[in-house]
Structure 1
Amino acid sequence: MKNPNLYERPTFFWKWRTLEDWKMATSFTKANYTNIIMLLVFIFIAIRQVKAKQKEAAKHGYEHRYIKRDEFPTVEEQPDFEWEKTEPIKLRPFKPKYHLTMALENLIPSELLQMDKTYRDRIALRRDTMAKHGTHVVAVNDDYIIRPAVVEHYEFLMGTYLPLRFPKMFKLHETDYEMGKTFMLENLVTGAIFPANVSASTPTTRLLETLGRTIDEDFLFLHAEEDEEQDDSKSSTPSEKPNPKDDDKKYILQAYVVCCPSGFDPAEKLGKRLSAIHTPVPGYEAKISGSMDRFFARLEVGKYVKRANWSIQTHDNLYAAGPGTNHAHEGDVVEEMADEELDLDKTFMRCERQTLHRLPKSKGLVFAFKTYLYPIREIKEVDGLGEELAQAVDGLKEGSVPAMHFYKRGAVWGEAVKKYLRS
């Protein structure tokens, strides 16, 4: 006979009306009820934890896709950007006559970095270059002075700019790493995962290496030279007005990751002022040294600028450090190339898209450049462009600094390149 005090439902759905009913239930039924109660409690706790995590993340400016950094200019999103279908930008900075000037243009902050279909191959090449050339590619001079700038730039790019600007290439994750909760940036192209924020134990050189493995861009970090004598009793405070003497300060290269040097060894420039860095450049001291120093000293936070340069190289190496590569210095013996020696498969117009901006907190300067190699055949195929470049080769000798023709090794490749372009 059925118990009239029980609903006629399967055992695990029974509803108990009295303590005696509960005592009459099987152990299996009791266990099911206990499991359901525990599951509900677990779900309740999990929901509270998720909400707490989201609240804490929002407090730090994390919006799942990127980390907010209000001190930097707003980055315009590109949700539909497809790097594999994007051609490299076409730089054509040559002119009929070469005049040595800064030739700066304003840069939209969102366009600080450029991505294109060469990204995967170029990142692989950068990784190999760093492994092969060591401190000639990545180095730090005074870590105490420059580390804040490197950290600031690293965290902005890895945690904010990349996942926001190129969401199909980079994705931000919150996870456990090293000393606790942190953010990790996943490179959706290469599969690499790196921290998006920096722990105190991470060496500055590792941050530079990570930038070099993530971005097809070379970065040089400069900082105003420190006063030789400083009275601690007169230290500056946020309320003080800017010191006019800051306009006269010289900037020193304190750190770099440079995988694509052209005609110079970055290791030889480390720790030097701008004027010393540019010593081999003809006309630099006489024409633009003073204006360069003043511009660097007075560049305001939030102002981004860009420029481009060009030269011809007769090899296919992006890493071209040192003498005898892309530059010739006073006293070097060079020989003119015969027409038949010009290897069209290895002759390129080499351009750098250079940018400069000041970091908002550390006040360090970031000079960066991305290198493009345009095949000489590609230049000739464009109507009229071959003749324009041929005129620009002659124009190296006809502008404000005629020695630039020798410096760019035009004495070696100039006649052969012009003849091909005009053929």
Structure 2
Amino acid sequence: MEKAISIIMSYLDSTWGVLLQAKSQLSTTNAILMLSMLGMMLYRAWAGGAKPPKVTRKLTVVSEDDFPPIEPLDKFGWETTEPLQLRPYKPKYNLTMALENLEPSELIPIDKEYKDRIYERRKVLKENYDIALGIHSDKGTVHRDGEEAPLVHDAICELYEYVMGIYLPNRYPTMFTLMDAKFETGKVFMLQNKVTGEVLPASVSPGGSLIKALETLAKTIDEDMLILLPSENGEKLIKEGDDGLRDRRKGEKKESLKTSVSDKGNTKYVLQAYATCFPSGFNTREKLGKQLAAIHDPVPGYKEKLEKSMDRYFERLEVGKYMKRMNWTVTAGAELFSAFGDIHSSKNEDLRPLKSEELDLDDTFLRVERQTLYRLPKSGAIVFSIHTYRYPIQQIKEEGSGEDLAAAIDGIETGNIPHMGKYKRVPVWGQAVKDYLRS
């Protein structure tokens, strides 16, 4: 600031000297031009030397410095932004992790379907609240009043603040604005959703409802989110003092979950909380409290092909590293909310093939999950998020990708897990869909 003032005073002195020397020769027009030039010089001095320092916003649990910087989309128009067009299918289906690096700024995509999807998610919450939201009953963190809270308490609060208080207002400033409100108890950050008109807390208040926090996330972003914490032989690994939450809010450092388990080699991750409005063929509540292997027990080949590598990867995932992968299938007659079948078959289910004339083209979709994975820096929890896209089967054919998808459907049963075809109900819809795509 002192440098900027010095520069401005220097400009003033030199310009005033010129004006005094030339005042007898200046016309009114030239005087106006000279004053305009003075104004420009003052602006350049201010812009070049008096830029305010960037303020790092600190919320209740986290601050912006705890996460990678988010590149803002200053002119983003959600109403004109097309959904991502993902075509992850290949001629042969092989079950692999297939993880790719993800730019942190691209964590949560938003497009012109946002408003309709948010409406659909709220409808699911109204009709299937206990299935769409869940928190495991494991106890671990101590409240100030002496009562225990779920083990996942800190992770939910951290994730909530990251999404509501950091990511959304920084990434999509045309849609979300972070505001501060002053109360007798202090300053509170609020997030304004300019699309829905809602103003929501950017933090979970002390003693606030965790299930309501998950509900708010589910109603604000079109992402299904699952929170996993490590356990070793069933033991709880969070370490804390007499008052873990109070210590955390004071900013005192606790031993992170990642540090507690990184050298053990046999860590297993457990689903401790979730908000899933669009489950793909499973009831998420039935997965609550289970380890990764048990969660994926119905998936053919998971134990042989993925279990060890998945456990190892979850254990070693570093803070600040964001990953993504894709998963796809074809659905015939399945809704976005498919918690009770229609997408995956049960072991003894009798699968009757659809005839071509029975296939409802308006209700047949290529369903693609864009899955993301990252670790929260404070709690050490891992967040597994899913954004579900549905592309009408007619669109796939019209864009010229019909043969590629038909070949990929054939490739499901010729890949490294032949039983995957039955699991994905290919015997039901496969032939009818291929006939249409190749017609």
**TM-score normalised by L of structure 2:** 0.78
Identity %: 49
- Using the TM superposition, give the Cα deviation of residue 202 of structure 1 relative to its aligned residue in structure 2, in angstroms: 1.2
Deviations 1:352-376 (A, max 9, x none): 0000000001000000000000000
Pick closer, same or farther for the CA change 1:152–1:231 going to 2, 3 Å.
Answer: closer
Corresponding residue for 2:354? 337
Work out the CA distance in 2 between the residues paired with 1:59 and 1:78: 19
Larger radius of gyration: 1
Pick closer, same or farther for the CA change 1:322–1:242 going to 2, 3 Å.
Answer: same
Query: Is residue 246–residue 297 contact of structure 1 (8 Å, CA) maintained in 2?
Result: no
Query: Is residue 321–residue 375 contact of structure 2 (8 Å, CA) maintained in 1?
Result: yes
2:204 is equivalent to residue 198 of structure 1: yes
Work out the CA distance in 2 between the residues paired with 1:150 and 1:102: 26
2:324 is equivalent to residue 306 of structure 1: yes
Corresponding residue for 1:217? 223
Which residue, 137, 140, 148 being the options, matches 2:132?
137
Pick closer, same or farther for the CA change 1:379–1:233 going to 2, 3 Å.
Answer: closer
- Which residue identity is paired with 1:404? M
Work out the CA distance in 2 between the residues paired with 1:344 and 1:231: 50
Deviations 1:193-250 (A, max 9, x none): 1100221121110110000010000000000015656899999975997655443210
Work out the CA distance in 1 between the residues paired with 2:368 and 2:359: 20
Work out the CA distance in 2 between the residues paired with 1:411 and 1:248: 38
Corresponding residue for 1:373? 390
Pick closer, same or farther for the CA change 1:194–1:364 going to 2, 3 Å.
Answer: same
- Which residue identity is paired with 1:115? I
2:287 is equivalent to residue 292 of structure 1: no
Q: Secondary structure of the residue that 1:248 maps to in structure 2? A: coil
- Which residue identity is paired with 1:265? N
- Structure 2: where are the runs of 5+ without partners? 1-51, 139-148, 242-252
2:403 is equivalent to residue 387 of structure 1: yes
Work out the CA distance in 2 between the residues paired with 1:387 and 1:119: 31
Work out the CA distance in 2 between the residues paired with 1:233 and 1:85: 48
Query: Is residue 237–residue 260 contact of structure 2 (8 Å, CA) maintained in 1?
Result: no
- Which residue identity is paired with 1:396? I
Work out the CA distance in 2 between the residues paired with 1:232 and 1:131: 34
Q: Secondary structure of the residue that 2:92 maps to in structure 1? A: coil
Q: How does 1:11-410 map to 2 (within 5 A)?
A: 61=58, 68-141=63-136, 142=138, 143-176=149-182, 179-225=185-231, 228=234, 244-315=262-333, 317-323=335-341, 325-383=342-400, 385-410=401-426
- Which residue identity is paired with 1:397? E
Corresponding residue for 2:20? none
Query: Is residue 208–residue 256 contact of structure 1 (8 Å, CA) maintained in 2?
Result: yes
Which stretch has the larger CA shift, 412-421 or 177-186? 177-186
- Structure 1: where are the runs of 5+ without partners? 1-54
Query: Is residue 57–residue 64 contact of structure 2 (8 Å, CA) maintained in 1?
Result: no
- Which residue identity is paired with 2:353? E
- Which residue identity is paired with 1:327? H
- Using the TM superposition, give the Cα deviation of residue 329 of structure 1 relative to its aligned residue in structure 2, in angstroms: 2.2
Work out the CA distance in 2 between the residues paired with 1:257 and 1:237: 27
How many residues are treated as equivalent by the alignment? 362
- Which residue identity is paired with 2:225? F
Pick closer, same or farther for the CA change 1:304–1:340 going to 2, 3 Å.
Answer: same
Pick closer, same or farther for the CA change 1:152–1:94 going to 2, 3 Å.
Answer: same
Deviations 1:319-360 (A, max 9, x none): 00123x100122111100011000010000000000000000
Pick closer, same or farther for the CA change 1:373–1:244 going to 2, 3 Å.
Answer: closer
Pick closer, same or farther for the CA change 1:59–1:129 going to 2, 3 Å.
Answer: closer
- Which residue identity is paired with 2:79? E
Work out the CA distance in 2 between the residues paired with 1:312 and 1:232: 41
Pick closer, same or farther for the CA change 1:69–1:413 going to 2, 3 Å.
Answer: same
- Which residue identity is paired with 2:429? W
Query: Is residue 247–residue 298 contact of structure 1 (8 Å, CA) maintained in 2?
Result: no
- Using the TM superposition, give the Cα deviation of residue 317 of structure 1 relative to its aligned residue in structure 2, in angstroms: 1.2
Query: Is residue 299–residue 423 contact of structure 2 (8 Å, CA) maintained in 1?
Result: yes
Query: Is residue 231–residue 237 contact of structure 2 (8 Å, CA) maintained in 1?
Result: no
The Cα RMSD (Å) is 2.6
Work out the CA distance in 2 between the residues paired with 1:258 and 1:321: 10
